Amino acid sequence: MNRDYDYMFKVVLIGDSNVGKSCLLIRFADDCFTENYITTIGVDFRFRTMTVNKDTVKLQIWDTAGQERYRTITNAYYRGSDGILLVADATNRKSLDNIPDWLSEIEKYTDDEVFKMLIVNKSDLEEKTEISDDDLKKFSKLHGVPYMWTSAKSGINVDDSFLKMTQSLISKRELDEESGHKSKTGKKGTKSTLEGSNLFRNAEKAMNEKETSCCNN
């Protein structure tokens, strides 16, 4: 069957309410930002297609509500995910302290192999930050989860975070194929290695070349 992509991955954004999950998604999908805070009710999703090392990668990104009352709806969406971005707010220490609870939720509802990355958002609000890079290094080591600082407002590191995750997902899928696991997408059996830097540069170039649009609010 002909597909318009080489890889497709399901990615889920989770974390406390108000940390900026929806803003990250909108920044990544539409390259825009709004200060108007509209809490997510249940879930929302977007697609974005990008080129990574000549492969077309389609990401289906689910944005979940952080509010506790929606937990029974949102955790159903973790199932079958390839990658999960755990989002904390740099200006709210509690949102980082709650990440272990989110990790437990992931353990309950996904298989062991889901890729996880911690995103510490609102890095533009430096004067208000309650989280240091040392805190994150310790956290990352303790929980075995890589981290990135981002700002959905300025856009810094947003594309890079999704790219890094996508590279890891491609790498993992290729390893699975080599070891005989069946690919979820029926991806052609290429065997490129993920010796990152070249791939990352190509991916960055592709991102820079993409058309951008902005919501005017």
**Which is closer to ligand GTP, CB of 153 or CB of 172?**
153
- Are 52 and 163 within 8 A, CB to CB? yes
Residues 6+ apart with CB under 8 A from 26: 32, 33, 34, 152, 215
20 binds ligand GTP (CB under 6 A): yes
Phi and psi (nearest 5°) for 100?
A: -55, -35
**Which is closer to Mg ion, CB of 21 or CB of 173?**
21
- Which of 8, 9, 12, 22 is the binder for Mg ion (CB under 5 A)? 22
Phi and psi (nearest 5°) for 203?
A: -65, -40
**Which is closer to ligand GTP, CB of 119 or CB of 165?**
119
Phi and psi (nearest 5°) for 166?
A: -60, -40
Residue owning tokens 């890095």: 123
Residues 28-57 that bind ligand GTP (CB under 6 A): 35, 37, 39-40
> Nearest CA to 151 among 109, 173, 123?
123
Least spacing, CB of residue 18 vs Mg ion, in Å = 8
Q: Which does 43 bind (CB under 5 to 8 A by kind): Mg ion, ligand GTP, none?
A: none
Phi and psi (nearest 5°) for 48?
A: -145, 135
166 binds Mg ion (CB under 5 A): no
Residues 34-93 that bind Mg ion (CB under 5 A): 40
12 binds ligand GTP (CB under 6 A): no
**Which is closer to ligand GTP, CB of 119 or CB of 169?**
119
Residues 95-124 that bind ligand GTP (CB under 6 A): 121-122, 124
Other CB atoms closer than 10 Å to residue 124's CB: what's the count?
Answer: 18
With residues binned 3-state (H G I as helix, E B as strand, rest as coil), the percentages for the chain, rounded to 5, are: 40, 20, 40
> Nearest CA to 95 among 64, 120, 59, 60?
120
**Which is closer to ligand GTP, CB of 19 or CB of 199?**
19
Near ligand GTP by CB under 6 A, which window of 20-28, 52-60, 169-177, 178-186? 20-28
Sites of contact with Mg ion (CB under 5 A): 21-22, 40
Sites of contact with ligand GTP (CB under 6 A): 17-23, 35, 37, 39-40, 65-67, 121-122, 124-125, 151-153
